[in-house]
A and B are shown apart, each in its own frame.
Chain A
Amino acid sequence: MQSTYEKLEQQKGALRKKFPIKKPVIYFILIIFAIVNAYPIIWMVINSFKSEQEFATNQFGLPQELVFENYISAWNTANLGTLFTNSIFICLTATFLTVLIGAFTSYFLSRFTFKLNKVVYTFFIFGMLIPIHATLVPMFILMRNLGLLNTPVTLIFPYIAFHLPITIFILTSFMKAFPKDIEESAIMDGCGIFRIFWSIILPMSRPALATVIILNFIYNWNEFSFALVLINDPNLQTLPLGLASFAGQFTTNYGAQMAGLTMSLIPIIAFYLLLEKEIVKGMTAGAVKG
């Protein structure tokens, strides 16, 4: 009896040795994956240094000489300085508010049972199904009636409203997974509802929070349609609009466009790197322990 068990174990061990996902294989897959993902960015950066003439004749190779002018002309023609400031302000504010009230709402929707719980949740999820271009005209008329066209905070409202659904969706599903007894013991200790949220639920939701913060920031950073329609004043516009301005009816200044796009990518990558740590914190913590 025992010997069969041992044999079985040996077989298992052999099997494990035969088919482990070996490190080289993992690296190989990941390197392929990385090349496929990095190529467009590398192409963008390389072409941001090409003159218009060179872009016309040579789209693949390295630039013959580095044309830094693209960056200067991109910065100046598209008024990027102002647009950067506006974009950063709007993205940070909208993201902060969305995640704050979204987390709050998710907490109640996931940790409490009350009469309208399901209804409210479902109602929020509907928001994920709204095709944004269908709302451009109504949104414009709504903002006009509210006197909210063309102000520094105009874009914040639709950005919050349109990204609350996905925020709530992700956070709720994450918070639902926490075991029930967390709160029970906290309530025993005399903690209030908001206290539990603030010092137990929020810290536990770190990876999910980081995820939705990144998502919101990216969406807001790249959002084009509302920014196009709701803002007229060149001093209140956001980055995507400026980046579209290098394309004319019959011509496009690709060099400057790529330079502009490269610059606009820097803050968002920095932001991502900052938060990525939060997403995988458990992982690194484990690594230290291990």
Chain B
Amino acid sequence: MHAARNRTIAITVGILPALIIYLIFAILPILQSFYYSFMEWDGFSDMRYVGLANFIELFQDPLFWNSMKNNIYVVLASVLGQVPIALFIALLLNRKIKGLKIFRTIGFLPVVLSTVVISITWSLIYNSENGLINELLRTAGLDFLAQNWLGDSNWSMIAVLVTVIWQFVGLYLIIFLAALQNVPEEVLEAAKMDGASEWKTTWSITIPMIWDTIIVAVILCISGSLKTFDLIYVMTNGGPAHSTDVMALYMFNETFSKLQYGYGSAVSVIIFFFSLILIYTVTKLLGRKML
């Protein structure tokens, strides 16, 4: 009885500080934002209650659906691009070969790099007139493949996706590297003794052992992708002609450029619940109850 009460106290004391700060400085503001979503407000004059009008308008705006479609591409590219690449590189790096340390560090660099630099350098690479990609294609005699990568609305989203994948591989790389430390050396050694190929040990021992971490990475990917903003904001600001618009960007522009706080908040509500549904579904599919 006494012990049980002690335990309850310990748990309460342990969780409370995090819970309080989180409630006040994260939950409260977002609830406030949800509240604005039922209002019409330009930020200067008084608010006016409009019920679900913002949501109705939102669902009728083709640009919103366009941003959602693009956002789903970002999610797919991140989950199917970042996670496998990061896992592959992590497996390559998780061995005792000389000089790997430097690759590990370089692999992480894009994560810490300013989006301004990423945007400028990748735009130079993609440039239609003298960019690296088109120059290489022309040198190889493949002129017909050269494109106006960022300037053509058929290619711009693909170009942006490649950069997005590139930017965050390093993040999942270190998450996987950390997880790989938990795979006991002995198990792998034993498997090797039994004559299992590296491919096989990886596939049937290592991957299952870090499966939970892979799910963690997938969830981080989804939640991060649905909020993606910084890089696209600097690189294309959704253009050309809305071809790279994503939901957070759409929300930002509606809120701060067009001064529709209520409408912008409605978008944030949608982003929130859309992520929730997506993550719930994915975790169900990947066979782990996360939420």
Q: Enumerate chain A interface residues (CB-CB to B < 8 A).
A: 9, 12-13, 15-16, 19-21, 23, 26-27, 29-30, 33-34, 36-41, 43-44, 59-60, 101-102, 104-105, 107-109, 112, 114, 120, 122, 124-135, 137-139, 141-142, 157-158, 160-162, 164-166, 168-170, 173-174, 176-177, 193-194, 207-208, 210-211, 214-215, 218, 221-222, 224, 243, 257-258, 261, 264-265, 268-269, 272-273, 276, 279-283, 286-287, 289-290
The answer for the CA separation of A261 and B17 in the assembled complex, in Å, is: 35
Q: Do B14 and A105 touch across chains, with their CB atoms under 8 A apart?
A: yes
Q: Do B103 and A129 touch across chains, with their CB atoms under 8 A apart?
A: no
> In the complex, what residues of B have CB within 8 A of residue A38's CB?
106, 109
Q: Do B29 and A138 touch across chains, with their CB atoms under 8 A apart?
A: yes
| Interface residue stretch chosen among B137-145, B211-219, B236-244 | B211-219
Residue of A nearest to B279 (CB): A129
Q: Do A142 and B14 touch across chains, with their CB atoms under 8 A apart?
A: no
Q: Which of B117, B170, B179 contacts A37 (CB 8 A)?
A: B170
Known: A29-B92, A130-B30, A173-B215; 5 extra A-B contacts, CB below 8 A, are A131-B248, A132-B227, A173-B216, A207-B179, A218-B112
Q: Do A272 and B22 touch across chains, with their CB atoms under 8 A apart?
A: no
Q: Do B7 and A26 touch across chains, with their CB atoms under 8 A apart?
A: no
Q: Do A257 and B116 touch across chains, with their CB atoms under 8 A apart?
A: yes
Chain A CB within 10 Å, residue with most, of B29, B43, B272: B29
> In the complex, what residues of B have CB within 8 A of residue A210's CB?
178
Contact A26/B97 with A33-B103, A37-B170 known, Cβ cut-off 8 Å: yes
Distance in Å: Cβ of A261 to nearest Cβ of chain B = 5
Q: Do A133 and B121 touch across chains, with their CB atoms under 8 A apart?
A: no
> In the complex, what residues of B have CB within 8 A of residue A261's CB?
114, 116-117
The answer for the CA separation of A9 and B178 in the assembled complex, in Å, is: 34
B interface: dominant SS: helix
Name 28 A/B residue pairs within 8 A (Cβ), A-sorted.
A13-B195, A23-B97, A30-B103, A39-B121, A105-B18, A108-B11, A120-B19, A127-B26, A129-B275, A131-B227, A131-B271, A133-B268, A134-B268, A141-B32, A142-B25, A142-B32, A157-B25, A170-B175, A174-B178, A174-B179, A176-B212, A177-B182, A207-B182, A211-B175, A214-B174, A265-B114, A279-B181, A283-B96
Instruction: Let me know if B1 is at the binding interface, CB within 8 A.
Output: no
The answer for the CA separation of A101 and B14 in the assembled complex, in Å, is: 8
Contact A133/B252 with A40-B110, A138-B29, A276-B105 known, Cβ cut-off 8 Å: yes
Distance in Å: Cβ of B175 to nearest Cβ of chain A = 6
Instruction: Let me know if B104 is at the binding interface, CB within 8 A.
Output: yes
Instruction: Let me know if B79 is at the binding interface, CB within 8 A.
Output: no
Q: Which of A40, A137, A207, A224 contacts B178 (CB 8 A)?
A: A207
Q: Which of B8, B117, B291 contacts A40 (CB 8 A)?
A: B117
Q: Do B117 and A43 touch across chains, with their CB atoms under 8 A apart?
A: yes
Distance in Å: Cβ of A33 to nearest Cβ of chain B = 6
> In the complex, what residues of B have CB within 8 A of residue A137's CB?
33, 36, 43, 255, 261
Q: Do A207 and B11 touch across chains, with their CB atoms under 8 A apart?
A: no
> In the complex, what residues of A have CB within 8 A of residue B170's CB?
37
